[in-house]
């Protein structure tokens, strides 16, 4: 490793591996989008934020237990419920909305004053109102509360952005959005964008693009740039989407988003994990670091391309790759590469170094694009803390897969994934950090979203109300 590289790594490690303060996010200021605000969001990334794009593109019919903890059925997300991007989008701005529903200490909701039975009356970002709820119990004994839609037409089962669930155990409801006056008590929370969940760009049926689109695809990377669903291809898909929308409007037809919507929109880029993982699986550590610049160049190119008509960017670093059961399950000669929490030091060092370089790139872009807002969020300390201080969040098994095969210590089998015949999921995913060996559980995603919304780990520390547009 060069002297410069060594210095960068030392600096990154000294900054990033600090434990998260328990109350940092809870001190964050709250906001509510004003009436009539219409935030628009476009997301680019991999399976960490894929809300069904790959399933639609490839015709994959995922089966339960995917989606069991929130939607009650698979949606194309590689998770038992919502992803981090879902929590960032969730409806919270109306006075009838609560905050992102995560309570790591008690895992319970304190119900507000306005409710019908166990249902809460609140308004969605569109004209429908959720006014009734019934409970159902899934095969693992988790109780869900489902809200029906009534108002300007029949209920729309295809509109996942209109459905809210409250999964839990017994009489304790978890992770649901509930109504007026206080809402859920969420440790370390901020507020989200008050929009429906993002529809995948490639999903032909049941999609609603009025609040943006999701171009993220499972397995996506930055390189090679011209392969299917790479970041460059996702940006090209966006350009087609934008140009076609504006063309329709220019013809006097209805387009999902107008020119002002595209200009004021927030553009999130959350990619790089697959690139770094692939390098670590195939090259010595020093060579891995030397191959970071081309990855960063692709992210830079994406921002510069989107900058032609866009001004708001939110870029996420990668997570604690060395804490993924998929990586920990790789046979090793000994445990000398494990840290005090059981994570692989080499993978985590690479993630930290990559994030430091990505943060520096965002600084450079901010200097070059003075009229743009570029926010960088370091996800490594956020996700590493889920393992290092897992009991703080109510997790019991920080390094073990919920939906996997093989049993302890990692419950991960390279030949039998979550969708394989005979593979069963854990009874209570809320006690696990990891869902399938690679992706987080809904409970972990909620914790990550709360930390992102706090802005405590972002530079600059910008609140999401910046992106409320009337």
- pLDDT tens, residue by residue, 257-275: 999 889 889 999 999 999 9
**In this structure, are residues 441 and 79 in contact, taking their beta carbons and an 8 Å threshold?**
yes
pLDDT reading at 220 higher than 90: yes
Q: What is the pLDDT of residues 319-375, one digit of tens each?
A: 999 999 999 999 999 999 999 999 999 999 999 999 999 999 999 999 999 999 999
What is the dihedral angle through the alpha carbons of 396, 401, 178, 77, rounded to the nearest 10 degrees?
Answer: 170
- The pLDDT assigned to 462 comes to 84
Q: Report residue 165 as tokens.
A: 């669930």
In DSSP notation, 385-405 reads HHHHTGGGGT-SEEEEESEES
Inter-CA distances, 445 with 186, 432, 439, 449, Å:
13, 11, 9, 6
Helix or strand run (H / E) with residue 10: helix 3-16
Q: How confident is the model at residue 162 (pLDDT cuts 50, 70, 90)?
A: very low
Q: What is the pLDDT of residues 30-61, one digit of tens each?
A: 334 556 667 889 999 999 999 999 999 999 98
Of the listed ranges 188-202, 213-227, 392-406, the least confidently predicted one is 188-202
pLDDT reading at 318 higher than 50: yes
pLDDT reading at 87 higher than 50: yes
Inter-CA distances, 366 with 249, 304, 396, 430, 459, Å:
32, 11, 41, 38, 11
Mean pLDDT of 287-297: 97
Inter-CA distances, 453 with 52, 377, 381, Å:
23, 10, 14
Helix or strand run (H / E) with residue 356: helix 345-368
Q: Are strands 168-169 and 172-173 parallel, antiparallel or unpaired?
A: antiparallel
**In this structure, are residues 94 and 194 in contact, taking their beta carbons and an 8 Å threshold?**
yes
Q: Is the dihedral of CA 269, 272, 274, 275 positive or negative?
A: positive
**In this structure, are residues 463 and 32 in contact, taking their beta carbons and an 8 Å threshold?**
no
The angle, 0 to 180 degrees and rounded to 10, between the axes of the packed helices 345-368 and 273-282 is: 140
Q: Report residue 63 as tokens.
A: 């089966």
Helix or strand run (H / E) with residue 330: none
Beta bridge partners of 368: none
**Considering the entire predicted model, what is its pTM?**
0.75
> Phi, psi (5° rounding) for residue 252?
80, 10
Beta bridge partners of 122: 130
**Residue with structure tokens 């060579």?**
287
Which of the residues are catalytic?
47, 436, 439
pLDDT reading at 14 higher than 50: no
- The pLDDT assigned to 17 comes to 37
């Amino acid at each position: 490793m060069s002297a410069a590289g060594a210095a960068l790594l030392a600096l990154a490690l000294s900054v990033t591996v600090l434990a998260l303060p328990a109350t940092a996010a809870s001190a964050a200021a709250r906001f509510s989008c004003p009436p009539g605000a219409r935030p628009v969001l476009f997301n680019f990334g991999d399976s960490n934020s894929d809300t069904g794009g790959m399933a639609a593109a490839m015709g994959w019919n995922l089966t339960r237990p995917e989606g069991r903890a929130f939607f009650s059925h698979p949606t194309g997300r590689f998770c038992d419920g919502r992803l981090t991007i879902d929590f960032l989008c969730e409806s919270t701005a109306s006075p009838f909305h609560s905050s992102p529903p995560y309570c790591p200490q008690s895992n319970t909701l304190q119900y507000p004053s306005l409710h019908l039975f166990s249902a809460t009356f609140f308004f969605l970002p569109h004209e429908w109102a959720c006014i009734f709820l019934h409970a159902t119990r899934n095969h693992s004994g988790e109780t869900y509360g489902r809200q029906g839609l009534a108002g300007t037409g029949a209920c729309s089962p295809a509109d996942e952005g209109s459905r809210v669930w409250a999964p839990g155990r017994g009489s304790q409801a978890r992770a649901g959005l509930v109504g007026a006056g206080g809402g859920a008590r969420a440790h370390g929370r901020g507020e989200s964008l008050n929009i429906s969940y993002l529809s995948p760009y490639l999903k032909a049926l049941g999609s609603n693009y009025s609040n943006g689109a999701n171009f993220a695809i499972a397995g996506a990377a930055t390189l090679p740039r011209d392969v299917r669903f790479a970041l460059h291809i996702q940006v090209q898909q966006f350009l087609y989407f934008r140009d076609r929308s504006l063309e329709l409007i220019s013809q006097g037809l209805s387009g999902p988003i107008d020119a002002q919507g595209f200009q004021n929109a927030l553009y999130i880029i959350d990619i790089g994990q697959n690139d770094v993982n692939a390098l670590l699986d195939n090259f010595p550590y020093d060579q891995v670091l030397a191959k970071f610049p081309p990855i960063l160049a692709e992210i830079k190119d994406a921002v510069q391309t989107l900058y032609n008509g866009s001004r708001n960017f939110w870029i996420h670093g990668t997570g604690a790759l060395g804490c993924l059961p998929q990586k920990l399950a790789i046979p090793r000669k000994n445990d000398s590469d494990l840290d005090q929490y059981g994570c692989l030091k080499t993978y985590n060092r690479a993630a930290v170094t990559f994030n430091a370089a990505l943060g520096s790139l965002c600084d450079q872009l901010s200097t070059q694009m003075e009229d743009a807002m570029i926010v960088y969020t370091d996800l490594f300390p956020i996700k590493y803390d889920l393992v290092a201080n897992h009991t703080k969040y109510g997790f019991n098994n920080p390094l073990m897969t919920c939906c996997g095969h093989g049993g302890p210590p990692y419950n991960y089998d390279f030949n039998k994934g979550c969708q394989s015949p005979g593979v069963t999921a854990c009874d209570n995913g809320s006690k696990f950090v990891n869902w399938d060996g690679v992706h987080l559980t809904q409970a972990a995603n909620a914790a990550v979203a709360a930390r992102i919304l706090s802005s405590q780990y972002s530079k600059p520390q910008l609140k999401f109300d910046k992106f409320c547009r009337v």
